[in-house]
Structure 1
Amino acid sequence: MIICPAQHFDIFSIMNIERQSFIPAIQEKKRVFEKRLKIFPEGFLLLADCSDEVILKNKTALICGYLCAERWDELPDFSNIESKNKKDYKKSLRKIEKRFEPGHNPLYTHKNEGRFLYISSFALLKEYRTKGLGEKFFKNSVAALCGSMKTIEKIVLLVNEEWKGALKIYEKFGFSEIFRLQDFFPTIQKKQKSDGIIMTCDAECFRNIEFNTSENDLNGIKI
């Protein structure tokens, strides 16, 4: 397994992972991934299975996971939102929701010199889950991004409260909840919604992680 940069010709594989990972109501559109690749290609990484078995079967490596990110220059001010009057509260809350909602346009949120690394999405093909690969892929990807971007101070992400596996990974690496968006995510039960949990972690937590690279693996990170 190696972690390598995403390319525009990987879009089909990325969309396949997206469809396997999320319900239709929150799946990202192809054009959103294309924008992310165009605006911040350094923040879009793939997990590729380069095993002999896969190469023999498919004649090429199999893209089995992706992680994409943006750089933000600031975070919304969560500290005093609860104390605002009803009208201002709704306005401030909607502003936060728009920044974190799936499908938001990175053209308006990404800043090349931003101090916050926002993990906008992270997913694996079904057959590669529950094997510890998700944790390794996430850890090494974020470590690589933080290592190459020295001015990043914090990692930020949004997770559905129902995604227990992802929550477990994030908490293991020191992420903590800073704000909760109530009824943010659609669910399979159309009349129900689940909360979105905004979490952060210091970038330094990932900067001491070591990983292996090899020219034989297209300069990718081996996991």
Structure 2
Amino acid sequence: MLQVKDRTPRSGCRYFCSILFNDPFSANYEAGSRWVIRLHNVGDNLKISIRNALENDINEIMLIEQGSFHANIVESRDVFLDRIRIFPQGFLVLEIGNLVVGYICSELWEHSEDIPAGNFRLNHTITEVHRNDGTQLYISSLGILQEHRKKGYGKKLFSELEKRAIAECRISSMVLVVSVRWGAAIRIYEKHGFREIQRIKYFFDDSARSDAIVMRKQL
């Protein structure tokens, strides 16, 4: 019998998120049970690495996604697969040993001072807005497995993506959306050079129908 009662309480947040999560174990109990077994075997001496995501990472990515967001704003498996296929250099995963514990994904957009709100629509297909020659990097999603939060892994993924995008894609700015309710996340982004540029009313389909803040960092 598996014991999951010592699992960390769901009081934290994904790097973008400070709302209560759905339980990833109830969302997919068989996969969740197997995940707990693997977590118990993760040691502090295992190598931490960041690499481009592969299509066969999708089960781990979706488990992280389901454990990070309110059920109404979880994005679909097909959306993530399209992101991996179309812009693989903009989709990174962080591994401890051979266990994927976090991911970050992005799109390249044409630079615009006034970005259409529809560009940020959750579950949009990357082909709608991605441009290979775009100079503005949109951070579409970032998640860390619950048991590995508050260890700096989100920051590692964010910094590595920024470094690679500057070197390989010659971006001039980065944008993201964050709920007005996620004060801790907003302060983190401001500390790292992001500034509010616009708001989108009732963007998040959460319990409060929260507004979104669009933030940009000039590089």
CA distance in structure 1 between the partners assigned to 2:87 and 2:141 by the alignment: 14
Secondary structure of 1:112's partner? Answer: coil
Q: Which amino acid aligns with 2:141?
A: S
| Cα contact 2:50–2:92 (8 A) shared by 1 | yes
Structure 1 position 115, deviation (Å): 1.0
- CA spacing shift, 1:27–1:155, aligned 2, 3 Å: same
How does 1:48-197 map onto structure 2 within 5 Å? 48-50=95-97, 61-75=98-112, 77=114, 96-150=116-170, 152-187=171-206, 189=207, 192-197=208-213
CA distance in structure 2 between the partners assigned to 1:168 and 1:125 by the alignment: 22
| Cα contact 1:135–1:169 (8 A) shared by 2 | no
The ranges of structure 1 where at least 4 consecutive aligned residues each deviate by more than 6 angstroms after the TM superposition are none
Secondary structure of 1:65's partner? Answer: strand
CA distance in structure 1 between the partners assigned to 2:111 and 2:201 by the alignment: 22
Structure 1 position 22, deviation (Å): 0.3
Q: 1:18 aligns with which of 55, 65, 70?
A: 65
| Cα contact 1:175–1:200 (8 A) shared by 2 | yes
Structure 1 position 44, deviation (Å): 0.5
- CA spacing shift, 1:183–1:155, aligned 2, 3 Å: same
- CA spacing shift, 1:148–1:133, aligned 2, 3 Å: same
Secondary structure of 1:14's partner? Answer: helix
- In the alignment, what sits opposite 2:218? 202
- In the alignment, what sits opposite 1:58? none
- In the alignment, what sits opposite 1:27? 74
Deviations, residues 22-81 of structure 1 (Å, cap 9, x unaligned): 01100010000111111111111011112xxxxxxxxxx111111111111133626xxx
Deviations, residues 77-120 of structure 1 (Å, cap 9, x unaligned): 26xxxxxxxxxxxxxxxxx3321011111112000000111111
**Contiguous gaps of at least 5 residues in structure 2:** 1-47
- Taking structure 2 as the reference length, what is the TM-score of the superposition? 0.74
Percent of matched pairs sharing the same residue: 40
Structure 1 position 172, deviation (Å): 1.6
Q: 1:4 aligns with which of 26, 45, 51?
A: 51
| Cα contact 1:119–1:157 (8 A) shared by 2 | yes
CA distance in structure 2 between the partners assigned to 1:147 and 1:158 by the alignment: 24
CA distance in structure 1 between the partners assigned to 2:113 and 2:165 by the alignment: 22
| Cα contact 1:45–1:141 (8 A) shared by 2 | yes
